[in-house]
Amino acid sequence: MTESGMDGGAEREDLVVDGAFGCGYLIRGGSSTAPPEVARWPVQRLGTLTYHLHPRARLHSVVRPHGPGRIVLIGEPVDVQAGLVDAERICGLALDAWESGGVTEAVRYLAYLGGRWTAVLEPAAGDAGVPPELTVVPDCQATQAVFYSTRAGLALGSQPPLVAGAVGSGPDEAAKQMWTDLRAARKKGVIFLPGTMTTHEDVLPLVPNHLLRIRLTGASASVEHERFWPFQNRVERTDTLRVVDEFIDYFREHTRLLTTLGRPVVSLTSGNDSRTTLAAALPHLHDDSFAFTYYNPREGPLGEGPPMDVFIANALAAAVGVQHRVLQWRQPAAGSVFKEIFDRTYPVRRGTTGAAHAMWADLPHDIVHLQSIGAELGTTFYARRTRAGVSPERLLELVTGRSDLDAGMARSAFGDYLDYAQFTTEAIRGYDYHDVFYWEQRMGKWGYQKYQEGDFSHRMLMPFNARGLIEIMQSLPYRDREGKRVLRAMLATVPSLDPDLAERRPAHLADDPAGGAGAEELPITWRDVLAARPHLRPRLRRAAARVRRTTGGVR
């Protein structure tokens, strides 16, 4: 995507509208009003609700005469068990479940859909004077986020500013202070607004594994936030080989279905998660599919990690015959189209823009981007696990990695969250709270922003975003999950991608690809690449000097 010739006219505004809040939505009821951000979005009135849809968003709806009500699905649902990507048919199956087993059965059917979506169930009109109870259900990880407010009528949306604009809410100063405190406590690494906090006052998140029950009464609304998962107690399985087979079959089918939704492209690093996605997607890639890897030039001269990520990803793609592209991580220029897209989407707190800008500027806008975020839901993420029970203090420790922070900060972060999310050991029915917290907080509060980075230009879909898949993975003992047993089994089906079967140094980069008998092959480093390409040395020296100047000499 080029920005040349953009002078602030209609063409520029078209690009901004196409990018800002990409693939998002706003749903209104009661006295809420449409904010300026959605003025050019298509509008549909369905039942008692008004749906404002981003131009690239997809809405599907099914209602039957004398049926229980209307099913609305926004996004790209897939039914792994039935092998379906036809959203109208999936809506019909959800309606079948509603007719046969009530809302509870419909929720259970929806809960096991893959893809990326948000569901709204609106009952048929009942007795006069009794407002119907609407139900809102997110996908497995709430990757298509849901935020809501009843400050003025009802508003639900994919981003807090959309909801805030509909109900007249302003920025939350307490959330701003929490962000400052978290960054002071954790100088580097991921942080996110914890608990129920969002960037705007009176705007709340729908947490993954929960649903909303909504009643509209005239101009006002009431909402209950209710946990629906787990459906049953966790049972640890020792039939490891069967679990592995189930994972491979499920993951392959979910990934295959996602690749049918458009031109599939895989974001690839040297890690096992993205290798696993590539292994499953490989038979279904198109002739014009490719893999890509980010590269931040500021990081390259300072260590071997980022360059090695690029070199290994490139070698992996070459080994399986897939085109590989490198995206230069970079900031957008002041006054540029993408800067306006990003600022419109995040008017209060802005995260890093380098990766999002690189994708918007350098990738085609007609792709389905397979992103491997979420794999650690089924392996492990929080490795330092203790016997300490669930408490605001313990949850803050998981977010910051510190146990010495003020108790008042913990109460501000998570004081109301345990009740809001029914986050107790009894409610999560034998699942480890470290895993559930990662699922519901880190993925629910940090993850959705990563997905938005791709949605600015195309559609990002997650092969690991499937409840049945995560339940299979979490049924294994901790040691097998920590060792990524199922991922390694999937990679063993494509030896070129498997770190256990292939040499760490890719064969096509080795001095002797055949390998001498008894020869010890050392891992390649970026210094080896410089030795082979000495003409790069002056460029790297200049880049390193620039980085040292901009970072005050920090190396």
- Residues 6 or more apart whose CB falls under 8 angstroms from that of 450 comprise 371, 373
Chain-centroid distance of CA 442 in Å reads 10
pLDDT for residue 541: 60
pLDDT in tens, 205-224: 999 999 999 999 989 999 99
pLDDT at 319 over 50: yes
Q: State the DSSP string of 39-88.
A: TTS-EEEETTEEEEE-TT--EEEEE-TTSSEEEEEEEEEEBTTTTB--HH
pLDDT at 549 over 60: no
pLDDT at 520 over 50: no
pLDDT for residue 536: 53
pLDDT for residue 387: 87
Dist CA 197 CA 193 (whole Å): 6
pLDDT for residue 9: 85
* Mean pLDDT within 331-336: 96
The side-by-side arrangement of strands in the sheet containing 220-227 is 59-63, 69-78, 114-123, 133-138, 210-217, 220-227
What is the Cα gyration radius of the chain? Answer: 24
C-beta separation of 113 from 122 below 8 A: no
Q: Is 446 left (phi over 0), alpha (psi -120 to 50) or beta?
A: alpha
- Residues 6 or more apart whose CB falls under 8 angstroms from that of 226 comprise 210, 211, 212, 213, 422
* Mean pLDDT within 275-289: 98
Please give the model's pTM, rounded to 2 decimal places.
Answer: 0.89
The least confident of 38-47, 169-178, 243-252, 537-546 is 537-546
Query: What does the mean pLDDT of the chain come to?
Result: 90
Dihedral in degrees, nearest 10, Cα atoms 343, 345, 347, 352: -60
pLDDT at 483 over 50: yes
What residues form DSSP beta bridges with 75? 117
pLDDT in tens, 161-180: 999 999 999 999 999 999 99
pLDDT for residue 531: 53
pLDDT for residue 54: 99
Q: In this structure, are strands 459-461 and 367-370 parallel, antiparallel, or unpaired?
A: parallel
pLDDT in tens, 404-441: 999 999 999 999 999 999 999 999 999 999 999 999 99
In 139-209 the beta strands, taken as DSSP E runs, fall at 147-149, 154-157, 204-205
Listed ranges 480-494, 500-514, 534-548; the one with the highest mean pLDDT: 480-494
The least confident of 257-266, 333-342, 359-368, 380-389 is 380-389
Quickly count: other Cβ atoms within 10 Å of residue 430's Cβ: 12
- What count of residues does the chain have? 555
What six digits make up the tokens of 249? 């079959």
The least confident of 382-391, 411-420, 508-517 is 508-517
The least confident of 86-100, 437-451, 484-498, 541-555 is 541-555
pLDDT at 273 over 70: yes
H or E, element range at 414: helix 407-414
**500 vs 22, which has greater pLDDT?**
22
Cα diameter, the chain: 85
Dist CA 231 CA 32 (whole Å): 34
Tokens 């823009």 correspond to 353
What six digits make up the tokens of 84? 């379906």
Residue 169: closest CA among 25, 311, 33: 33
C-beta separation of 105 from 223 below 8 A: no
The side-by-side arrangement of strands in the sheet containing 154-157 is 43-46, 49-53, 25-29, 154-157, 147-149, 204-205
Percent of the chain whose predicted confidence (pLDDT) is above 90: 81
Confidence of residue 533 (pLDDT cuts 50, 70, 90): low
Confidence of residue 301 (pLDDT cuts 50, 70, 90): low
The least confident of 9-18, 19-28, 181-190, 532-541 is 532-541
Tokens 């002071």 correspond to 184
Where does CATH 3.60.20.10 sit in the chain? Answer: 19-227
**212 vs 521, which has greater pLDDT?**
212
Question: Which architecture characterizes domain 19-227 according to CATH?
Answer: 4-Layer Sandwich (3.60)
pLDDT at 507 over 60: no
Where does CATH 3.40.50.620 sit in the chain? Answer: 240-377+445-509
Q: What angle do CA 437, 258, 211 make, to 5 degrees?
A: 40
Dist CA 138 CA 107 (whole Å): 10
Q: State the DSSP string of 315-361.
A: HHHHHTT--EEEEE--PPPTT-HHHHHHHHH-SS-----HHHHHHHH
pLDDT in tens, 20-61: 999 999 999 999 999 999 999 999 999 999 999 999 999 999
**544 vs 42, which has greater pLDDT?**
42
Dist CA 270 CA 460 (whole Å): 20
pLDDT for residue 164: 99
pLDDT in tens, 125-156: 866 667 889 999 999 999 999 999 999 999 99
3-state helix, strand, coil in the chain (%, to 5): 40, 15, 40
CATH fold for domain 240-377+445-509:
Rossmann fold (3.40.50)
